[in-house]
Chains A and B, each alone.
Chain A
Amino acid sequence: MRGHGDLRLVVGGSLLCAIVALALPWPVVSLVFAAPLALFAPGYAVVAAAFARHSLDRPRLAVLSLALSLAVLAIGALVLNYLPGGVNGVSWAILLLAVVLGCSRSAALRRDRKPGPLRPPRLNPNGLELGLALGGLAAVIAALVLASTTLPAEPAIGYTELWIVPQPESEGREAEVGVKSEEQETREFDLGIRIGQTRIVRRSFTLAPGEETVVPIGPLAGPPGSIVPVVATLLLDEDPTTVYRRVQGSLTSPPVTG
């Protein structure tokens, strides 16, 4: 690809982007490298190969590069689906590099003229235009930050979640009872867990909005393999006569071993 500065830039840049994007553990920074690799380079290479003997003007080249990159991604997933390894980050990077390299090589071989040196479009903004552009960018960033900010919503009705679920890998011998406050203000709770007919576990706690507490229960001491019902009842400390939430499950006694 000697003499084809654009193709060398696309191939070299894609290789660099693929390595860095896969290596970086921070998604947002990784996107800076993944985006040109996935959303521009494949399309550019396809256009370069297709129009090796003619040259498109810059706007058409740019639009086709973007749209055909999207097309390569849509079709590429289909190709990867039937290849060993399937659709994952490494296989995507290899496929995109293969498209870029293959099409660029084809373009270099078929071109009957060397393109002029790559020149970025000339932008000569005056102070006002530059200020407006930077101001606009700042406004968009501010808009996105505002949109991502969680705000108070006082008319929203708060509530509390209560659940009972098995502990993973315990085969029903252990469980956890969870309470998460989605209330608008800090509240005091009384949790009663009745295990079988006789055993009762009580907890009193205070949860701020968004806070969660989990009470583990089990294993049971009882006849092996027996199933015991469990009922968890949540009361609000301010209204202890009314059941606020109630859930139910069961525990299994461990089998006799040895």
Chain B
Amino acid sequence: MGVLVCSYANALSRQMLDPSLAIFWAGILLIALPIFYRLTSRDASPAERLALVCLLGLSLYAVKLVRDAPIFIFSDEPVHAFNANEIAAHDHLFRFNPILPVTPSYPGLEGATSALMTIAGLSSYWAGAVVIAVARLSLMAGLFLLFSRIGGSARTAGLGAAIYTANFNFLYWGTQFSYESLSLPIFVVMLMAIAERGAKPRDWARDWVAPIVLGISAIVVTHHLTSYALAAFLAGLALAYWLVERKWSWQNPWPYAAITAALATLWLVLVANSTFGYLSPVLGGALEAIFNTASGGEPPRELFVGRGSATPVAPVPARAVALLSIFLLLAALPFGLRNVWQRYQRQPFALVFSVAAIAFFATLALRLAPAAWETGNRAGEFLFIGLAFVLACAGLQNWTPRRRPWLGRAALTVGLGLVLVGDAIAGWPWDLQLASPVRARAEGGTISSPPLALAEWARRNTPEDGRFAAGIADARLLLAPGERIALAGKHPDIEDILLEPAISNWELPLLQKHDIRYIVADARDVARDSTRGYSFSTADELINPRSTVVKFSEIPSAKRIYSSGEMSVYDLGGGRP
């Protein structure tokens, strides 16, 4: 029912009726609260708890599906869908991606998706949705079994897995068709495998080698950051084993840490060396931003405020819920840490989880530094695994006042609901919690938003090898569903070519260098926004000066071959229709 309520809220939003987000959050809570409450009970069997956490994970994934089905709209999704389409169309991996050139070097997700696309004939959307759904199922079940093995309690495990759904990225960012959405679940299952290996008798150890190495290899070819996170986690775990045991026992997972580091390094050097250029500006910028913000050289980033002046700010009650959720997590942390220390101080996994739980709050500080926000946000997904376990050990569910023995369970259920909603608010722009329409019904027909219509027009009417330069939102839809190569952003500097009021000397040589045939001139300011630029125009939309569009008519060979009002396409290829 909760999924249906969320779907209803999104349906109202797609009709641009500006529905109250309370409907949506009611749907989320309708999904989560009964499961949370049942998980706090002593009565449920381990099998029931496992089924409940799987149901929770899949239901929250369904919330994402009912937001935008059946089209990829989240910012990285068209990029990866393009890669998957390219594999299915050309039978080979490692093809060029103009927007995120690093992504074809990590083809795990798109390769897996291509299996369903080519065997069953599915579109990249539905094949990708099925792959991510199975990955989510693995994630939830893997978390439950991991926590169950470490904590020795199905009740703690169920609560831990449920708490994990409250991390900032669980509802939206982590569900998009993007490489981390596959690698993170395998990461969790590998942690589970390492924990199982350490808990079984020694003669089992060899049995685990093939599954663990296979899982590590899959992570390495799927996502750079997850492979580095796995190497770091396993190294930390190896150190924790040594600190606890003071010897290199067979349970110590150092060989797997070494294998992960070696495979990740080999892949980085031999196959994916563009990762250096992709990650170093992000991480370097994050470090610089931390230093600048800490030294007062740069003002701290405003929380709950999106990019651009036109982006709505989360209202005060929503911000209060988000901050309250952080406060609740922080308040429960000391109790969790105390209990973990009392019960599991000889358990290396629990020690590493404790460090991760504390580190999670350190990453929150990164949210105050403008360029470090994304780094902190992404690290949080991994660190929250530790936090979830520690908080599950806090023990609020065991608080049973004599007159109201249900109070502890009820308080924990309400607290978890608050944290789930609050962290979802903190992890995703306020104005994007619900869908915006990219298609609409009018007089019995179907109309498409301007960028989507352009992408569909390009697929039907331009040659496959015709390359586009476009704003970053337009370019993403040109990749998928447009199936055309579209360059955007600052590398190369398409953004300035599109925004400057007149043509400059450097622009034509740059366009020629990159073999650009078509320029998409889009007066909509939102075309530069990779999270918002896909929907219909509205009366209050910000429009750039006409000069940013018509300037391309000054190029002698350019012909405007397409016009839809705010959007035009100029053909630089001689103008010969």
How long is the Cα–Cα vector from A60 to B462 in the complex, in angstroms?
Answer: 51
How long is the Cα–Cα vector from A78 to B131 in the complex, in angstroms?
Answer: 17
Interface string of B416-454 (1 = CB under 8 A from A): 000000000000000000000101111111111110010
How long is the Cα–Cα vector from A184 to B15 in the complex, in angstroms?
Answer: 13
How long is the Cα–Cα vector from A72 to B107 in the complex, in angstroms?
Answer: 13
Q: Establish whether residues B4 and A140, one from each chain, have CB atoms under 8 Å apart when the complex forms.
A: yes
Determine whether B62 belongs to the interface, using a CB cutoff of 8 Å to chain A. Answer: yes
Contacts of A75 in B (CB 8 A): 108, 214, 217-218, 221
Q: Establish whether residues B450 and A151, one from each chain, have CB atoms under 8 Å apart when the complex forms.
A: no
Determine whether B189 belongs to the interface, using a CB cutoff of 8 Å to chain A. Answer: yes
Interface residues on A, range: 35 or more
Contacts of B217 in A (CB 8 A): 71, 75
Q: Establish whether residues B137 and A66, one from each chain, have CB atoms under 8 Å apart when the complex forms.
A: yes
- Segment from A1-9, A80-88, A112-120 that makes contact with B: A80-88
Decide: A78 near B437, CB < 8 A? Known: A87-B91, A156-B536, A210-B447: no
Contacts of B545 in A (CB 8 A): none
Contacts of A175 in B (CB 8 A): 577
Interface residues on B, range: 35 or more
Decide: A147 near B65, CB < 8 A? Known: A50-B208, A70-B138, A87-B92: yes
Q: Establish whether residues B577 and A151, one from each chain, have CB atoms under 8 Å apart when the complex forms.
A: no
Contacts of B194 in A (CB 8 A): none
Contacts of B14 in A (CB 8 A): 151, 153
Determine whether A258 belongs to the interface, using a CB cutoff of 8 Å to chain B. Answer: no
Minimum CB–CB distance for B478 against chain A, Å: 15
How long is the Cα–Cα vector from A86 to B135 in the complex, in angstroms?
Answer: 25
Contacts of A34 in B (CB 8 A): 115-116, 119-120
Determine whether A220 belongs to the interface, using a CB cutoff of 8 Å to chain B. Answer: no
Q: Establish whether residues A51 and B15, one from each chain, have CB atoms under 8 Å apart when the complex forms.
A: no
Q: Establish whether residues B564 and A182, one from each chain, have CB atoms under 8 Å apart when the complex forms.
A: yes
How long is the Cα–Cα vector from A67 to B559 in the complex, in angstroms?
Answer: 52
Q: Establish whether residues B559 and A64, one from each chain, have CB atoms under 8 Å apart when the complex forms.
A: no
Q: Establish whether residues B444 and A77, one from each chain, have CB atoms under 8 Å apart when the complex forms.
A: no
The DSSP consensus for interface residues of chain B is helix
Query: Which residue on chain A has the smallest CB distance to residue B190?
Result: A67
Decide: A150 near B446, CB < 8 A? Known: A63-B142, A87-B114: yes
Interface string of B481-495 (1 = CB under 8 A from A): 000000000000000
Q: Establish whether residues A77 and B50, one from each chain, have CB atoms under 8 Å apart when the complex forms.
A: no
Determine whether B67 belongs to the interface, using a CB cutoff of 8 Å to chain A. Answer: yes
- Segment from B5-13, B167-175, B318-326 that makes contact with A: B5-13
How long is the Cα–Cα vector from A37 to B1 in the complex, in angstroms?
Answer: 31
Q: Establish whether residues B575 and A249, one from each chain, have CB atoms under 8 Å apart when the complex forms.
A: yes
Determine whether A149 belongs to the interface, using a CB cutoff of 8 Å to chain B. Answer: yes
Contacts A87-B87, A153-B440 given; 10 further ones with Cβ under 8 A? A50-B208, A50-B210, A54-B204, A63-B141, A67-B215, A70-B112, A71-B215, A74-B218, A92-B114, A182-B448
Q: A residues within 8 Å of B by Cβ? A: 18, 21-22, 25, 27, 30-31, 33-35, 37-39, 46-47, 49-51, 53-54, 59-60, 62-64, 66-78, 81, 85-89, 92-93, 96, 121, 135-136, 139-140, 142-144, 146-166, 172, 175, 178, 180-186, 208-211, 227, 230, 245-252
- What are 29 inter-chain pairs, A to B, with CB distance below 8 A? A18-B119, A30-B122, A31-B120, A66-B138, A67-B138, A74-B111, A75-B221, A77-B108, A77-B110, A77-B112, A140-B4, A142-B4, A143-B4, A144-B66, A144-B69, A153-B441, A153-B536, A155-B538, A155-B539, A156-B16, A157-B539, A163-B569, A166-B576, A178-B461, A182-B447, A182-B450, A182-B453, A247-B561, A248-B560
Q: B residues within 8 Å of A by Cβ? A: 1, 3-4, 6-8, 10-11, 14-16, 47, 50, 59, 62, 65-70, 87-88, 90-94, 107-112, 114-116, 118-123, 126, 130-131, 134-135, 137-138, 141-142, 145, 182, 185-186, 189, 192-193, 196, 200, 204, 207-211, 214-215, 217-218, 221-222, 437, 439-450, 453, 457, 461-462, 535-539, 541, 559-566, 569, 571, 575-577
